[in-house]
Chain A
Amino acid sequence: MSTDSILSVEHLTKKFTIVAGRKGLAGAIRNLFNPVKREITAVNDITFSVKEGEIVGFLGPNGAGKSTTIKMLTGILTPTSGSASVNGLIPYQQPRKNARNIGVVFGQRSRLWWNLPVQDSFEYTKALYQIPENVFRENLRYFSDDFGVDEILTKPVRTLSLGQKMRAEIAMAMLHNPRILYLDEPTIGLDVVGKNELHQLIQRINADRGVTIVLVTHDVLDIERLCRRVMIIDKGSLIWHGEIEDLKRAKGVEKHYHVLYENPCTPIELPFLKVAQADGQRHHYICTEDVPLDDILPRILETGRVVDFTVTDPPLDQVMRRIYTE
């Protein structure tokens, strides 16, 4: 464990005993008297650490164990084995102390009072966390000036759009100046514009406040926009972690080259290069191996006069699909 990490997790494991139901009515009746119990491992021996001020992504398909991990880090669940340390505290042993250091936003659950204006929920948070008046005012001003939170303060929560609601949720989670902010599926259900606004908000508060952000999502777009480092969880295990660039290089070696020639010419032939399209001036090659551009570019250039040339990385979702199906 390095000294500058604000959050570290070692061999974290969580097992649940669930009642595995039998099918049909007869099964349901038998379940009443003789339930079949089964142990499932939701999180299996996960080890990682997060540096202060980082935005780290937690990626994985539905039911992979991301949220269970976050619930242990926020002190909601107690791990079966292993340990976690958040800002020097053990969250599941000191949940109330831990709560003062963290902000939590669950995209699917609201902390706001549904029928009341947003400011009532803020006042409630202020009392609950004993936020000093000056800190409260300052934070309110910060979110009002830059993110238009003042416009929605007096509106009942049920009249807000999903994007406005998420902004209010995040602002509320930041009112007590937490060191770590957990965002669990914050962009769920948002449209492109809403997602974009939320991405900007998250980037800004990370830069301005230096708050460490743990972003849990199944949306690769969130990760691509916001995080440099990502952890991929599948079936309870941490199957990959590191920088996104490395991930693409390691797992998605497919690169696309689009070339536009001045005049029609014949496509180049290389063993590691697939020709996807070559009708006259427009050529599209797919490279399926990790080959330096230096080996390809000269051949492209000597074929004819190049008007335009683009290289595209594999999109992250394609990389993810490959990882999950492996």
Chain B
Amino acid sequence: MKQLWDYLKVSCKIELENQLIFRSNFFVSILFVIIRVVMLLALWSALYQGKTQVEGISLATMKCYTIVSIVFELFIACKVENSITEKVKDGSISMMLTRPASYPVTLFIEHLAGTFQAVVVWVVPYLLVIFLCGFAKGAQLYLGPWFWLSAAGAYLLMFFYQFFFGMIAFWTQEINGFLQARDAVMLVFSGSMVPLWFFPGRLFSIAQYLPFQAMYSTPLSIMIGKIAGADIRTALLVQAGWILGFGFLAQFCWRKSRRRMIVNGG
């Protein structure tokens, strides 16, 4: 336990340092995030066209959904998949396997440290901007334990999901084409850009059977009250199912991959 704690601390420090080292990159990225927020808010205002409510959601709540979904995206953003595929491609995966810590654990620490970095570097200045501008005025939000539980679940799901796809790289060596297609599907069906309740009937049903809604839509819908009461329990159970599913798959692939590993280059 002490090892993991020390390891997490030093990983957080290194992630943060790595991020802050190039100043211009840092400032430009923050600017980019702000532009994105302003644009999306303007877009929703235009789409509401002066109506107070659409599908039972007020404009203020909708704006809130947008802002939180961007913050949430930063919060659960995960570089694990990329980290694995890059290391498999250039062969530096071998260095990871000569460490006195298991690789999956190393990856999870990497994920936590990445989140720490994101929270410090992005989320904080970002929320500051939002509150200063008063965008969230008039929104009705639920930020109780169910929201945090579903957020934590989404975080864990994201890790196992990426860990699983990263493991595929051990088999195929190169999966970028597939991953890009998958991410395009995810952008639509996660509900992070356009909330799922705006989807026509059939698309909405498809979204329910995909894991993406459990990553974004579930916690965000709980937050703005679109999912409430008994529905919360159902949504959380579905999420838990996805976590277990991907967790099992990831672990299974990891076990298998150890045996058939090929290390590229020298």
Q: Kindly report which residue of chain A lies nearest to residue B97, judged by CB atoms.
A: A76
How long is the Cα–Cα vector from A266 to B86 in the complex, in angstroms?
69
B13 in contact (CB, < 8 A): yes
- Smallest CB-CB separation from B105: which chain A residue? A96
Q: Are B7 and A96 in contact (CB under 8 A)?
A: no
Chain A positions 152-192 with a Cβ under 8 Å from a chain B Cβ: 184-185
- State which residues 104-157 of A face B: CB under 8 Å: 104, 106, 108-109, 111, 113, 115-116, 120, 123-124, 126-130
How many Å from the CB of B79 to the closest CB on chain A? 15
How far apart are A72's CB and chain B's nearest CB, in angstroms?
Answer: 11
Which parts of B238-266 form the interface with A (CB within 8 Å)? 258-259, 261-263, 265-266
Contacts A76-B263, A109-B91, A185-B266; A99 near B17 (Cβ below 8 A):
no
Contact assessment for B95 and A106 in the assembled complex, using a CB-CB cutoff below 8 Å: yes
Q: Does A102 contact B (CB under 8 A)?
A: yes
Chain A CB within 8 A of B24 CB: no
In the complex the two chains form, is A99's CB within 8 Å of B259's CB?
A: no
A127 contacts B263, CB within 8 Å? no
A85 is an interface residue with CB less than 8 A from chain B: no
Q: Interface size of A by Cβ–Cβ distance < 8 Å? A: 33
CB proximity to A under 8 Å, residues B95-133: 95, 97-102
With A78-B258, A108-B266 known as contacts, the answer to whether A128 contacts B21 (CB < 8 A) is no
The answer to whether A120 and B14 have CB atoms under 8 Å apart is: yes
- Whether A71 is near chain B, meaning CB under 8 Å from some CB there, is yes
Residues of chain B within 8 A of A97, CB atoms compared: 100
8 Å CB interface, A6-34 against B: 16, 18
Q: Which residues of B contact A126 (CB under 8 A)?
A: 10
Residue A252 is within 8 A (CB to CB) of chain B in the complex: no
In the bound complex, CA of A99 to CA of B17 (Å): 27
CB-contact partner of A127 in B10, B98, B102, under 8 A:
B10
**When chains A and B are docked, how far (Å) is the Cα of A100 from the Cα of B7?**
15
The answer to whether the Cβ of A77 comes within 8 Å of any Cβ in the partner chain is: yes
Question: Is there an interface contact between A130 and B6, defined as CB atoms closer than 8 Å?
Answer: yes
Q: Is B92 an interface residue (CB 8 A)?
A: yes
Q: A106-B95, A109-B91 are in contact. Are A129 and B262 (CB under 8 A)?
A: no
Residues of B within 8 A of A124 (CB): 10-11, 14
CA distance A78 to B2 in the complex (A): 30
Task: Give B106's nearest chain A residue, CB to CB.
Answer: A128
Q: Is A236 an interface residue (CB 8 A)?
A: no
Verify B97–A95 contact, CB threshold 8 A. yes
- Which residues of chain A come closer than 8 Å to B180, judged between CB atoms? none
Chain B residue contacts of A120, Cβ below 8 A: 13-14, 17
Q: Which residues of A contact B261 (CB under 8 A)?
A: 76-78
Chain B residues near A106 (CB-CB < 8 A): 94-95, 266
Taking the nearest CB of chain A, how far is it from the CB of B189, in angstroms? 28
A67: interface (CB < 8 Å): yes
Partner of B100, one of A71, A78, A96, A109: A96
A residues engaging B (CB < 8 A)? Answer: 16, 18, 67, 71, 74-78, 95-97, 99-100, 102, 104, 106, 108-109, 111, 113, 115-116, 120, 123-124, 126-130, 184-185
| Further pairs besides A109-B91, A127-B6: 14, Cβ < 8 Å | A74-B97, A74-B98, A76-B261, A77-B263, A109-B94, A111-B95, A115-B21, A116-B14, A120-B14, A123-B13, A126-B10, A127-B7, A127-B9, A128-B101
Residues of B within 8 A of A (CB): 2-3, 6-7, 9-11, 13-14, 17-18, 21, 91-92, 94-95, 97-102, 258-259, 261-263, 265-266
Q: Which 4 A-B pairs have the closest CB atoms?
A: A127-B6, A99-B100, A127-B10, A76-B97
| 26 contacting pairs across A/B (C-beta < 8 A) | A71-B94, A75-B97, A75-B98, A76-B97, A96-B99, A96-B101, A97-B100, A99-B100, A100-B100, A106-B94, A109-B91, A109-B92, A113-B18, A115-B17, A116-B14, A116-B18, A116-B21, A120-B14, A120-B17, A123-B10, A124-B14, A127-B3, A128-B3, A128-B7, A129-B100, A185-B266
